[in-house]
A and B are shown apart, each in its own frame.
Chain A
Amino acid sequence: MLQRVLALARKEFIQILRDRRTLAMVLALPAMQLLMFGYAINTTVDHIPMVVYDPVNDSVSRGFVEALRNSSYFDLVGSTMDADAVRTAIDQGRAKAGLVLDAGFSRDLQAGRPGTVQVVVDGSDPNYAQTVLFASATVASVHGAALQAQRAQRLGQPAGPSVAAIDLRPTVLYNPGMASVTFMIPGLIGLILQMQTLLLTTFALVRERERGTLEQLLVSPIKPWELMAGKLLPYTVLALANITAALAVGVFWFRVDFAGSLAAFYVLSLLFLVSSLGTGLFISTISQTQGQATQAALFMLLPSILLSGFVFPREAMPLPLQAVGWVVPLTYYLRILRGIMLKGVGVDVLWPDVWPLAVLGIAVFVISALRFRKQLA
């Protein structure tokens, strides 16, 4: 019994090592994904190119533009002769933001009235647009308050109450630099684990069917569960090696702090693996060829990538899509990973995500295993 499982596992390892394509997929893909996602998905935006139309052009208006530049959110890429040219610059893509100062900007400010500035934003990339709005509003209020204080001082009046009525001191927990990469690494580990195990187990089984060796195994004393164990064991080992490598890259290369317990990380990752292996097994029961298997795998992976909260915040999704995400195991695993890695919390806190992951994983696995058994018998 054990001999049969080991014979299968050994054979599977030889095949993995001998097949260059699979080996490349096992070794290079996680590293590539980490580097690509780690660097490419950077949602922190700064140095936004901006054009300015400043009809006033005195020390007060220049001071405000300078304040925007000093925030490092904006780079001044040009000044225009009229307000329409600002729109043209954004149309042409030379700038993502435009600043149109009112002709009475300095006069109003000096008179103690609010100076009027129009901010034109390229909204095609919401990420940029939000940063422009947020950064310009912040700079305007801070700079405005400073101007007001100066004016009060000059007039010999006490500083108005509007200056610092509310002193907001934000504290950002877990990821103080708010770096995207810190948020991405746990997600990537989850996604890599899911993609690798799903694709590899599916292919490993479909290949046997395609090449006619499954027929031979059916007539042998191998029982369906032994076949399953012999096939899944090697890929479980590989998956654990993979996430260890991904974790190492995250911690040593991207300098992501690992706040929680390694033991919890591995135990809960194994729990997640159950669902991935189960899904792979399931796809193998509905695919006759590797081509079909690839299609099915992509179909299964898409909700994991889009709806699990890997890139897009689940809170922003319409309810039906959120609901679909509830049956995607990666949704829970991502929260667990982020909890362990970034917040350093344990299973006691993560329990609301642990039990659905366990229930889903075991359900998927049992259904697939039964289907697999029935198909072979």
Chain B
Amino acid sequence: MAAPPAVITVRDLERRFGDFRAVGGVTFDVAQGEIFALLGPNGCGKTTTIRMLCGILAPTAGRGEVLGYDVAVDGERIKQSIGYMSQRFGLYEDLTVRENLDFYAGVYSVPARRAEARIAELIAMAGLQGRERQLAGQLSGGWKQRLALGCAIVHEPPLLFLDEPTAGVDPVSRRRFWRMIYGLAQTGVTVFLTTHYLDEAEQAHRVAIMYAGKLIALDTPDRVKQTALGGELMELECAPSAAALAVLEQRPDVLEVTPHGLKFHLVLRPGAAPATVQTALEAAGVQVAAFRTIAPSLEDVFISMLTERDLR
């Protein structure tokens, strides 16, 4: 089976603002139908990257192709073919649900005959039936988000950009939103999103972790977790925690210790025995209630990677 064609191709893409290198040479591909997350803290260059891919910011160096169009010269054609939803949703709060959809249908030149059916479809998809005449500003966060998504895909774009899509939305609405995103991906729509929420990035097919303008990891969420930590992740429940921390930080077979609520997450050097660590803890008078291997979350990976970088 042939691999699906790449919808986004990026090679050494770079963007400087004066002396500041916001994006410093990133390379990746996004395949058709893929949900691709760009994860990183605020100010790491995610937004600059997405702006270049949308054709509204010219790269300083490198090459980017979106749907076969060069981002440096074909911005206008890219804009016509993509959907874009920003953190601020881009809705007119003093317009009704229906008027917002009508407006974006007009902006994307959806033929009037097609628009009618398409808008009905989107209203059903977002579960906004019966709210067509409600002002967008009166909707709660989750409804607004689904309406914004509807507006962004009113012209049935093959590629959808989501810039921090679920900021400030409750967990139930977030889940519902993601069901819509999966639904779109199943119909062949490619979704490119930026986020600084780790659990959100975990929903994607592939995740690229960006830090200080560079990609520091790029794989499926599972493989990123496995390879990035450099060892086995353990969870430790014990008391008193101050004494435990003192012991753990001294040991060369413990690569990393991070407090997680009342527990600790630690990364053991490959080949190290958990039993020796436990013995050492107990020798120092620490009561160990539980000490077990756990599956790492992206958050562990993220923190581990960032501490490692900052230490260097």
A213–B106 contact, CB under 8 A?
Answer: no
Instruction: Out of A10, A18, A216, name the residue touching B90 (CB < 8 Å).
Output: A216
Whole-angstrom distance from the CB of A265 to the nearest CB of chain B? Answer: 34
CA distance A221 to B95 in the complex (A): 21
Establish whether residues B95 and A15, one from each chain, have CB atoms under 8 Å apart when the complex forms: yes
Nearest B residue to A214, CB-CB: B90
B56 touches A218 (CB 8 A): yes
Q: Does A212 contact B (CB under 8 A)?
A: yes
Partner among B54, B82, B99 whose Cβ is within 8 Å of the Cβ of A11: B99
> Of B84, B107, B109, which is in contact with the most chain A CB atoms at under 10 Å from its CB?
B107
Asked whether, in the complex, the Cβ of B106 is within 8 Å of the Cβ of A216, the reply is no
B92 touches A15 (CB 8 A): yes
A343 to B56, CA, bound (A): 53
Indicate whether A245 reaches chain B with its CB closer than 8 angstroms: no
Question: Contacts of A18 on B, CB cut-off 8 Å?
Answer: 94-95
- Which of A6, A216, A219, A222 has most chain B Cβ within 10 Å? A219
Contact digits for B244-279, partner A, Cβ 8 Å, 1 yes 0 no? 000000000000000000000000000000000000
A217 within 8 A of B: yes
A344-360 contact mask (Cβ, 8 Å, vs B): 1 or 0: 00000000000000000
A300-343 interface (Cβ within 8 A of B)? none
Q: Which residues of chain B come closer than 8 Å to A6, judged between CB atoms?
A: 106
With A213-B92, A216-B90 as given contacts, are A7 and B84 in contact (CB-CB < 8 Å)?
no
Interface centre among A6, A19, A222, by most chain B C-beta atoms within 10 angstroms, is A222
Given known contacts A15-B94, A213-B90, A219 and B56 CB-to-CB distance under 8 angstroms: yes
Closest to B105 in A: A7
A10 touches B106 (CB 8 A): yes
**Which of B56, B88, B90, B95 has most chain A Cβ within 10 Å?**
B90
> Is A155 at the interface (CB under 8 A from chain B)?
no
Given the known A-B contacts A219-B56, A219-B84, A221-B80, are A3 and B109 also in contact in the complex, defined by CB atoms under 8 Å?
yes
| Residues in B108-162 with C-beta less than 8 Å from chain A | 108-109, 161
CA A23 to CA B107, docked complex, whole Å: 25
| Contact code string B75-104 (vs A, CB < 8 Å = 1, else 0) | 010011010101011111111000100111
Task: Decide if B79 touches A3 in the complex (CB within 8 Å).
Answer: no
Question: Are B93 and A4 closer than 8 Å at their CB atoms?
Answer: no
Contact A220 B107 (CB under 8 A): yes
Tally A residues with Cβ within 8 Å of B: 24
Asked if A211 is an interface residue, CB under 8 A from chain B, the answer is yes
Query: Given A216-B86, A219-B54, A221-B79, are A11 and B92 neighbors across the interface (CB < 8 Å)?
Result: yes
Task: Verify B79–A14 contact, CB threshold 8 A.
Answer: no
User: Measured between alpha carbons, how far is A15 from B105 in the docked complex, in Å?
Assistant: 17
Residues B49-81 near A (CB distance < 8 A): 54, 56, 76, 79-80
Distance in Å from the Cβ of B54 to the closest Cβ of chain A? 5
Q: Roughly how many angstroms separate A7 CA and B111 CA in the complex, as a whole number?
A: 12
Question: How far does the alpha carbon of A11 sit from the alpha carbon of B274 in the complex, in Å?
Answer: 65
* Cβ-neighbour of B94 out of A19, A218, A219 (below 8 A): A19
Please give, as numbers and ranges, the residues of chain B lying within 8 Å of A7 by CB-CB distance: 102-103, 105-107
Q: Is the beta-carbon distance between A3 and B106 smaller than 8 angstroms?
A: yes
Task: Report A200 CB to chain B, min CB distance, Å.
Answer: 15
**B residues in contact with A11, CB < 8 Å:** 92, 95, 99, 103, 106
| B99 contacts A14, C-beta separation under 8 Å | yes
> Please, which residues of chain B bring their CB within 8 A of the CB of A222?
107
Contact A213 B91 (CB under 8 A): yes
A217 contact set on B, CB distance < 8 A: 90, 107
Q: A4-B107, A14-B99 are in contact. Are A220 and B79 (CB under 8 A)?
A: yes
Which residues from B are CB-within-8-Å of A220? 79, 84, 104, 107-108
* CB-CB under 8 A for A4 and B91, given A212-B86, A215-B86, A216-B84: no
Task: Please indicate the chain A residues that have their CB under 8 angstroms from the CB of B88 in the complex.
Answer: 211-213, 215-216
CA distance A248 to B209 in the complex (A): 66
What 0/1 readout, one digit per residue, does chain A (1-26) give for beta carbons within 8 Å of chain B? 00110111011001100110000000
Instruction: Kindly state the separation between the CA atoms of A19 and B93 in the bound complex, as whole angstroms.
Output: 11
Separation of A18 and B107 alpha carbons in the complex (Å): 21
Q: How far is the CB of B78 from chain A (nearest CB, A)?
A: 9
| Closest A residue to B51 using CB positions | A219
Looking at the assembled complex, report how far the CB atom of A215 sits from the nearest CB atom of chain B, in whole angstroms: 6
Determine how close the nearest CB of chain A comes to the CB of B91; give it in whole angstroms.
Answer: 7
| Nearest-neighbor residue (CB-CB) of B84 within chain A | A219
Q: Are B106 and A4 in contact (CB under 8 A)?
A: yes
Report the Cα distance A224→B256, complex, angstroms: 52
Chain A contacts of B99 at CB under 8 A? 11, 14
Which of B56, B89, B94 lies in contact with A212, CB distance below 8 A? Answer: B89
CB distance from A231 to the nearest CB of B (A): 13
- How far apart sit A212 and B104, CA to CA, in the bound complex (Å)? 15
Task: Say yes or no: B93 contacts A211, CB within 8 Å.
Answer: yes
Min CB distance A208 to B, Å, is 9
15 contacts between A and B (CB under 8 A): A3-B106, A4-B107, A4-B109, A8-B103, A11-B92, A11-B106, A15-B92, A15-B95, A212-B90, A216-B84, A218-B56, A220-B107, A221-B107, A221-B109, A223-B76
Given contacts A4-B107, A220-B79, A377-B56, 15 further A-B contacts (CB under 8 A): A4-B109, A7-B107, A8-B107, A10-B106, A14-B99, A18-B94, A211-B92, A213-B90, A218-B56, A219-B54, A219-B79, A219-B82, A221-B76, A221-B107, A223-B76
A contact residues vs B (CB 8 Å cutoff): 3-4, 6-8, 10-11, 14-15, 18-19, 211-213, 215-223, 377
Q: A-contacting residues of B (Cβ < 8 Å)?
A: 54, 56, 76, 79-80, 82, 84, 86, 88-95, 99, 102-109, 161
